[in-house]
Amino acid sequence: MEKMKQQFTDLLKEQNAYKEALGLIQWDLRTKIPKNGMEQRAEVIGLLSEKIHQLSTSSQMKTYIDELKGKTNDAVLEKVIEKCEEDYLRSSKIPDHEFKEFVTLRSKSESVWQEAREKDDFSLLQPYLEQLVAYNKKFATYWGYETNKYNGLLDKYESGLTTSVLDEVFQKVKEALTALVKKIEQSEVEIDVDLLLHHFPKEDQEKFSLAILEKMGYDFQAGRLDETIHPFAIGINPQDVRVTTRYDEKDFRMAVFGTIHEGGHALYEQNISPELYQTPLASGTSMGIHESQSLFWENFVGRSEGFWQSHFDLFRSIAPAAFQSLDFTTFYQAINEVKPSFIRIEADELTYCLHIIIRYELEKDLIDGELEVKDLPEAWNQKMEDYLGIRPKNNKQGVLQDIHWSAGDFGYFPTYALGYMYAAQLHHQMKQELDLGTIIQSGDFAPIKEWMTKHVHQHGKMKKPLEIIRDVTGEGLNADHLIAYLTEKYSKIYQL
Amino acid sequence: MEKMKQQFTDLLKEQNAYKEALGLIQWDLRTKIPKNGMEQRAEVIGLLSEKIHQLSTSSQMKTYIDELKGKTNDAVLEKVIEKCEEDYLRSSKIPDHEFKEFVTLRSKSESVWQEAREKDDFSLLQPYLEQLVAYNKKFATYWGYETNKYNGLLDKYESGLTTSVLDEVFQKVKEALTALVKKIEQSEVEIDVDLLLHHFPKEDQEKFSLAILEKMGYDFQAGRLDETIHPFAIGINPQDVRVTTRYDEKDFRMAVFGTIHEGGHALYEQNISPELYQTPLASGTSMGIHESQSLFWENFVGRSEGFWQSHFDLFRSIAPAAFQSLDFTTFYQAINEVKPSFIRIEADELTYCLHIIIRYELEKDLIDGELEVKDLPEAWNQKMEDYLGIRPKNNKQGVLQDIHWSAGDFGYFPTYALGYMYAAQLHHQMKQELDLGTIIQSGDFAPIKEWMTKHVHQHGKMKKPLEIIRDVTGEGLNADHLIAYLTEKYSKIYQL
């Protein structure tokens, strides 16, 4: 028994070594690697990924699970075994050759997507998407599902969640937000975003970004900030969690809110309990909970009035002369402008969820066979018109904007909106326990980080997403808090 | 046969993947990693190193070598097999448990060395060095050697070289250089290095360093320049070869000559023939030949009169005001000052070899049992006095300055001096074939890079070090060219 535990731990450490190497390679790929180095690096990525997959589905792994499960008297180890079993079952149900075909298809499809987007030609991508949808349907069948195939995919990204729950909460959010957007359109408050678009040198944006990360409680002994094109945070190991951001010298919002967002992800990974290190539990529990952390910081803190009350002086001390005449209210309003737009990643806090709901509804219909890939562009544009009141003029502004589907990921999009709802639920609960307004205004965020670490971060994957939400808030998924928060905030800004 | 070739290639690719991941990890460790990330990363390094070792000594490897050797009709593949066989024999001769003990001892010893150096206390390190010497003696016995044990170690770093050859050439070099140093001491030429020690901002040093790398023909599509504490170059793969340098704002020489030196290493790795990619031959053939490339660029090009004739204007256009009054001759003399000093890595071009010869003589005596570790400090100091005319005041300035022995590396030091001799031999030959003076003065170094690629770089490990030297120069190892070059150069500078 002890010997087998040791062997199991060794196997996990080996797997972890490949994962950690891959993590560094991914970070490097998106920040530092010289162009020509990529070709051979791609083979290395393929090989290390294959090793991880092999270990997950190895006969030793099966033996360890079968022999150890329920017999270890060790809560962490039992959760580790449970997680390994989940991975084992998920991975071993797909025949090796099909998984390899899928991986190859996906990487081809991603590069076709680049071309299709550049040329604004959906027909190039269509055959690839059709095959990727077919594979996903097949995988859902292998994995098993309740009610509809899409549930089988959803479970992969947000364990325990189903379309019947999502349909209900998304319907609520959709109704509330579309109504709010309409009211805002009729508001007489005029917000001038152009006031923010002065030249802001990169080095100064970096200085401000670093200062904010420091204030958030991000540990620079266990991380660093670098520049990239598509910002991300990555936990290479729990003591090496790196943040990246992008500097647009004509629009500082990109870097500032991007850094706060990624900083939120990073705080999660930096504050996992050390007893989970080197196990598959030493990372955020789900995409949704992860996004709750980034969005909590970006919006509930970073776009709040209190935050800027405590940071506007710092901002102005670093910002160029052109920003010095901005008054606080104008600034605060401008960073919270609501305006329906085509591109998801450029959307404001309020309309963002509508972008996600559109994608959710479409991908669910694709997987459940109620929509064909060829009809996707038209369906996309129609929903944009119905929910946001604007219609893309081309597919580049529409269905071709995101990489997710081309990368074979179906069931992932909803986690972005779940993150919003979770964040609002955590925010609501935190307000009951902490004097949050005063804390944010004071600029000393230590109590927020402590609260999140206690309730969310430290647990890693020891708890499922809904378990965390229920343990902290006493509720299941609940859209009301998000709706209430957005309604209150934007009613005030737009004097509705 | 074809199937086995494929399996062999797959095994090499797997091994290469671990090596490439380790390469990136090593680069990151010395440039970017946050402090706390190191602890877990060390385990990853251990694990990946072990996988590489396992594959090198695996029964499959043995089978492929036995079955394929001499039967493939493919010159590259045969060399690959030969290299794998060498590695297999070298690695498999050491019992696993002894190798592990050695690795553990070495890593402990490295950290003890740090402490011993800080406290200037050799006695802390002594027991570790004694054990490391004992292991090296044992390994030499396992590997086999001719005449004396030290030959067994030497062969690991510079295949084919023996102490009888080294003793002869080093004796020659020692006599010539000590005589030269004495003459220089009596010269009436006075060189004032202080003229170089004005403040030179880091960003400007970086600008100059990048410009020089570009001129050397370093490919920035296949590499990058970063800052570090101990400069190095690393080929993560042949299309991702990175250079690092160190900026001392009070002494620009550190960065400029350091960058040129590492750039020379990098050019070697960037210009390996693509037919060797993903094989164990896709790297420089030996430490000595590698050092010949870095030293060729650093000294024969970078410290030459012609180089500064073509780059002094560029230098002054980037350098701060304090440098503008420097005239060319004063500058050229100052960067070539000869002055015996205690620290190897700060030594000038002329006395550097004497530092190496001291280390060679001492480590040879240690391994062959003619010197005991406890007597090392005194022996060191005596040789410093004999060869360089100065006696270290403490062991920090003496025997504790280098990490090599504490890291268990015996037989490595001579490769630095070999690099000098090889570089001088290549330099001599290049002058017969190219109008080198004119080329260096013109600042267009393309013909130098082409010549080196043709004769050295492209071959990777297809040729052994002495094979390369013989094929290019028609000679074996020959110290005369180095002696002639140094005598001519410094006789002129010091008007001897």
Please name the member of A34, A224, A239 whose beta carbon is closest to the beta carbon of B220. A34
Q: What is the pLDDT at residue A487?
A: 97
Can you give the pLDDT at residue B341? 96
* Chain B nearest-CA residue for A236: B37
Question: In Å, how far from its chain's centre is CA B64?
Answer: 33
pLDDT in tens, A57-114: 999 999 999 999 999 999 999 999 999 999 999 999 999 889 889 988 998 998 899 9
CB contact under 8 A, A239 and B36: yes
User: What is the model's pLDDT at position A419?
Assistant: 97
In sequence order, what are the residues at sequence separation of 6 or more whose Cβ sits closer than 8 angstroms to the Cβ of residue B491?
A: none
Chain B residues at the A interface, defined by Cβ less than 8 Å, are 13-14, 16-17, 20-22, 24-25, 28, 32-37, 39-41, 43-44, 47-48, 219-224, 236-240, 242, 277-278
Does residue A282 carry a pLDDT above 90?
yes
Q: Give dist(CA B444, CA B215) in Å, integer.
A: 7
The neighbouring-strand residues paired with B234 are B242
- The residue-averaged pLDDT of B244-262 equals 97
- How far is the CA of A417 from the CAs of A265, B333, B434, in angstroms? 15, 68, 68
Is the confidence at residue B96, as pLDDT, over 90?
no
Q: What is the mean pLDDT of residues A226-242?
A: 96
Considering chain B, what is the average pLDDT of its residues?
96
Per CB-CB distance under 8 Å, the chain B contacts of A221 are 34-36
Percent of chain B predicted with pLDDT > 70: 100
Other Cβ atoms less than 10 A from the Cβ of A111: the count is 11
- Cα separation values, B271 from A303, A460, B263, Å: 51, 46, 12
Q: How many CB pairs under 8 A join A and B?
A: 104
Question: Where is average pLDDT lowest: A207-211, B31-35, B94-98?
Answer: B94-98
Q: Determine phi and psi for B234, rounding to 5 degrees.
A: -145, 130
A334 has pLDDT over 90: yes
End-to-end CA distance of chain B: 66
Two tokens, residue B451: 């010549």
- Which residue intervals of chain B bear CATH 1.10.1370.30? 136-496
Segment A121-138 mean pLDDT: 97
Whether residue A389 is predicted with pLDDT greater than 90 in this model: the reply is yes
Per-residue H/E/C for chain A: CHHHHHHHHHHHHHHHHHHHHHHHHHHHHHHCCCHHHHHHHHHHHHHHHHHHHHHHCCHHHHHHHHHHCCCCCCHHHHHHHHHHHHHHHHHHCCCHHHHHHHHHHHHHHHHHHHHHHHHCCHHHHHHHHHHHHHHHHHHHHHHCCCCCHHHHHHHHHCCCCCHHHHHHHHHHHHHHHHHHHHHHHHCCCCCCHHHHCCCCCHHHHHHHHHHHHHHHCCCHHHCCEEECCCCCEEEEECCEEEEEECCCCCCCHHHHHHHHHHHHHHHHHHCCCHHHCCCCCCCCCCHHHHHHHHHHHHHHHCCCHHHHHHHHHHHHHHCCHHHCCCCHHHHHHHCCCCCCCCCHHHCCCCCHHHHHHHHHHHHHHHHCCCCCHHHHHHHHHHHHHHHHCCCCCCCCCCCCCCCCCCCCCCCCCHHHHHHHHHHHHHHHHHHHHCCHHHHHHHCCCHHHHHHHHHHCHHHHHHCCHHHHHHHHHCCCCCCHHHHHHHHHHHHHHCCC
Partner-chain contact A41 B237, CB within 8 Å: yes
Per the CB < 8 A criterion, the answer to whether A455 and A426 are in contact is yes
State how far the Cα of B71 lies from the Cα of A353, in Å rounded to an integer.
65
Kindly give the pairing relationship between strand B233-237 and strand A240-245. unpaired
- The catalytic position among B158, B206, B262, B298 is B262
- Percent of chain A with pLDDT strictly greater than 70: 100
If pLDDT is split at 50, 70 and 90, which confidence band does B347 have? Answer: very high
Q: What is the mean pLDDT of residues A129-153?
A: 96
Answer for the pair A117, A401: CB distance below 8 angstroms, yes or no: yes
* CATH placement of domain B136-496: 1.10.1370.30
* Beta strand segments in B177-275, E: 225-227, 233-237, 240-245
- Confidence at residue B454, expressed as pLDDT on a 0 to 100 scale: 98
Q: Of B123, B105, B108, B254, which is closest to residue B193 (Cα–Cα)? A: B254
pLDDT at A381: 98
Residues of A in contact with B277 (CB under 8 A): 40
**What are φ and ψ of residue B235, in 5° steps?**
-95, 100
Residue ranges in B371-461 assigned as alpha helix (H): 376-388, 414-433, 436-442, 446-455
Per-residue pLDDT band for A351 (boundaries 50, 70, 90) equals very high
Q: Structurally, what CATH architecture does the domain formed by A132-496 represent?
A: Orthogonal Bundle (1.10)
Instruction: Give the pLDDT band (50/70/90) at residue B104.
Output: confident
Using alpha carbons, select from A247, A279, A244, A280 the residue that is nearest to residue A265.
Answer: A244
At A308, the amino acid letter reads W
Q: What is the pLDDT of residue A467?
A: 96
What backbone phi and psi angles, to 5 degrees, belong to B367?
Answer: -70, -40
Question: B237 has which bridge partners?
Answer: B240
pLDDT of residue B134: 97
Residue numbers in the known binding site of A are 261, 265, 291
Whether B121 shows a pLDDT value over 90: the answer reads: yes
Give B239's contacts in chain A (Cβ within 8 Å). Answer: 34, 36-37, 39-40
By C-alpha distance, which of A64, A101, A100 is closest to A85? A64
DSSP state of B301: I
d(CA A79, CA A461) in angstroms, rounded, equals 8
Looking from the CA of B235 toward its CB, the CA atoms found within 13 Å total 26
What confidence score (pLDDT) does residue A100 get? 85
pLDDT of residue B135: 97
Report pLDDT for A452.
98
Which one of A10, A20, A243 makes the best mutation probe of the B interface by having the most chain B beta carbons within 10 Å?
Answer: A20
Specify the 3-state DSSP secondary structure of B107: helix
Query: Cα–Cα distance between A197 and A183 in angstroms, integer?
Result: 26
pLDDT tens-place string over residues B278-323: 999 999 999 999 999 999 999 999 999 999 999 999 999 999 999 9
Mention every residue, 6+ apart, whose C-beta is less than 8 A from residue A397.
A342, A343
Cross-sheet strand order for the sheet of B225-227? B225-227, B240-245, B233-237
State residue A124's pLDDT score.
97
Confidence at A258, pLDDT banded by 50, 70, 90: very high
Q: What is the structure's pLDDT at A177?
A: 97
Which tens digits make up the pLDDT trace of A28-41? 999 999 999 999 99
Instruction: Give the residue-averaged pLDDT of A238-246.
Output: 97
For residue B383, pLDDT over 90 is answered with: yes
Residue B244: beta bridge partners?
B226
Condensed to tens digits (0 to 9), the pLDDT of residues A418-452 reads 999 999 999 999 999 999 999 999 999 999 999 99
Note whether A40 contacts B277, CB cutoff 8 Å.
yes
**pLDDT value, residue A160:** 87
pLDDT digits (tens, 9 = 90+) for B147-197: 999 999 999 999 889 999 999 999 999 999 999 999 999 999 999 999 999
| A430 class by beta-carbon count within 10 Å (0-12 exposed, 13-18 middle, 19+ buried) | buried
The predicted structure's pLDDT at residue B107: 85
Scanning every residue of chain A, which has its alpha carbon at the shortest distance from the alpha carbon of B19?
Answer: A44
Query: What amino acid positions of A are annotated as catalytic residues?
Result: 262
- Here the tokens at position B218 are 């370093």
pLDDT at B384 over 90: yes
| pLDDT at position A1 over 90 | no
Q: Which residues of B are annotated as a binding site for Zn(2+)?
A: 261, 265, 291
B275: phi then psi, degrees, rounded to nearest 5 = -70, -10
- pLDDT value for A64: 98
Q: A193 CA to chain B: closest CA distance, Å?
A: 35
What are A's interface residues with B at a Cβ cutoff of 8 A?
A: 13-14, 16-17, 20-22, 24-25, 28, 32-37, 39-41, 43-44, 47-48, 219-224, 236-240, 242, 277-278
Residue B1 has pLDDT above 90, yes or no: no
Contact criterion met (CB below 8 Å) for B482 and B173: yes
Which tokens go with B369? Answer: 């049992």
d(Cα B122, Cα B392) in Å, to the nearest integer?
Answer: 14
